[in-house]
Amino acid sequence: MSFEAFNKDTFKVYIIAIQRNGRKYITQVIDMPDKYDFPKILKYIKKVYNCNGTIIKQDDGKEILQFSGDQRHNIYDFFIKYNVMDKENISVKGF
């Protein structure tokens, strides 16, 4: 048994696209651990991918990143390209 299994983070982040109406979409990043800097990630994604975004605080204290448009693949590529998290920790949902 290797020690790498103990060093890996055991969380799952979900990137989902929700259809509002017609061709309009909202992309949400759910279940991100609190160790990440949400405002910094939000600011960078908004600037690079030319979309609007916000941080939504839930009743249980968790935060959700929400972006306008279908940004699932852009956010996934951002997380992989800049080593924010591993591929195993990301799940892309949606149609």
The answer on pLDDT for 6 being more than 60 is no
Task: Spell out the residues 6+ positions from residue 55 whose beta carbon is closer than 8 angstroms to its own.
Answer: 38, 39, 42, 63, 64, 65, 66
Section 25-41 average pLDDT: 94
Q: What is the mean pLDDT of the chain?
A: 88
> Which fold, 7-30+45-93?
Translation Initiation Factor Eif1 (3.30.780)
pTM: predicted TM-score of the whole model, two decimal places: 0.84
pLDDT the model gives residue 56 = 96
- In the structure, what pLDDT confidence band is assigned to residue 11 with cuts at 50, 70 and 90? confident
Q: Cα dihedral sign for 14, 83, 35, 2?
A: positive
pLDDT the model gives residue 51 = 95
- In the structure, what pLDDT confidence band is assigned to residue 9 with cuts at 50, 70 and 90? low
